[in-house]
Amino acid sequence: MAALLFLSVFCVRTEALPRFDKEVVRYDSDWLVSAPTVSATLFETTTPGELVLSNGLISRTFRTKPNGATVSFDLMTTGTELLRGVKPEARVTIDGVDIEVGGLLGQPNYAFLRNEWLADMKSDPDAMQFLRWESGPIEPRMEWKRVRHAAPDAQWPPQGIHLCMTYGMPESASETLRDILVRVHYNLYDGVPVLSKWITVENTGQIPVRLDSFTCELLAAVENGSQVNSADDLTPNIHVESDMAFCSMGAPGAIRTAAHWVPDPDYTTQVNYHLKTPCLLEASPDVGPATTIEPGGSFESFRVFELPF
């Protein structure tokens, strides 16, 4: 099993996908007034190994070569690019070892991301490497026992598309970690500019491992503004929620232990004197989970929901 993870070829599914045409897919009316006619779909582009999740309202673009990474996050209704830089798709700490999941190295400036830079960016040899992707309809997380009369036409599970990208350990990984897989999941929903994301960590080996901590989302977003002094209130135009929410009367407080806007250490050209602009979204628990994953077992993280505006 471990040897399969070190293949230099990319084990990507080869089924035909529709070609992405932004002007055709984009929904140019108010989605709150009239229901969008474009369903959430996985597209390919003219660039080999590039995938686009889009529902006409938002799109998230991925490169799968030389490694998996988000390279665009677009609010299509306004033509606003939300992504400022390429980061790993996730991060895990297993048996005390910090491991990045996917991502690309070599971006020269984290104030913005130019498409022409991507051809020269490289995979981190010590990061988990992209193996394959799978897609299908969104699956129900639980049985919904309908007891209220509100929204009688609501569908469950919500309509949309699920994308799963699987990553395997690099050749530099220790023997105890080589059989660990991380699957990064994305749900894009029909009719609303919302995307959810989470990860699963699977132990396909013969010995238990300890998942000390995880970060299921790292998003280097365009800042909301620039100030030379305090910039704590200048968070990007992405509303974030999580199913790990508690002990508050509003979303910002309720998700304070799950999702955080923090300074980006790679963004050294920002206006803020102290480089403290909160423009990097990190979705991770404050503590733990510090859980053991037995052979054949898996761990599923909480989910984050992102609504650009």
- pLDDT per position as a tens digit, 233-281: 889 999 999 999 988 887 778 888 999 999 999 999 999 999 999 999 9
Check pLDDT > 60 for residue 14: no
Q: Are strands 83-85 and 217-221 parallel, antiparallel or unpaired?
A: antiparallel
Determine the Cα angle at 128 with ends 126 and 133, to 5°: 155
One DSSP character per residue, 201-253 reads EEE-SSS-EEEEEEESEEEEEPPS---SS--TT---SEEEEESS--SSSSHHH
How are the residues of the chain apportioned to helix, strand and coil, as percentages rounded to the nearest 5? Answer: 5, 40, 55
Beta bridge partners of 200: 183, 300
Q: What percent of the chain lies above the pLDDT cut of 70?
A: 95
Q: Is the preceding peptide bond at 285 cis, omega within 30 degrees of 0?
A: no
Q: What's the pLDDT band for 8 if we cut at 50, 70, 90?
A: very low
Name which of 84, 87, 72 is nearest 111 in CA terms: 84
pLDDT confidence tier of residue 15, bands split at 50, 70 and 90: low
Six-digit token string for 81: 């690019």
For the chain, list the domains and their CATH numbers.
Answer: 2-140+157-308 (2.70.98)
**What are 96-119's pLDDT values in tens digits?**
999 999 999 999 999 999 999 999
As a whole number, the mean pLDDT across the chain is 93
CA distance 178 to 211: 14
- String of b and e for 126-165 (b: at least 16 CB within 10 Å)? ebbbbbbbebeebeeeeeeeeeeeeeeeeeeebebbbbeb
Contacts of 200 (CB under 8 A, 6+ apart): 182, 183, 185, 298, 299, 300, 301
Please give the residue that has the higher pLDDT: either 12 or 247.
247
Residues making up the chain, counted from first to last? 309
Output Rg (C-alpha) for the chain, integer angstroms. Answer: 19
Q: Which of 238, 256, 260, 239 is nearest to 247 (CA)?
A: 256
What is the value of pTM for the model shown?
0.93
Q: Is the dihedral of CA 51, 104, 72, 217 positive or negative?
A: positive
When comparing pLDDT for 15 and 249, which is higher? 249
User: What number of CA atoms fall less than 13 Å from residue 61's CA on the CB side?
Assistant: 25
pLDDT band at 72 (very low <50, low <70, confident <90, very high): very high
Pairing relationship of beta strands 259-263 and 180-189 according to DSSP bridges: unpaired
Quick check: 81 and 73 in contact, CB under 8 A?
yes
pLDDT of the residue at 168: 99
pLDDT at 135 over 70: yes
CA distance 95 to 291: 10
> What is the pLDDT, as a whole number, of residue 280?
98
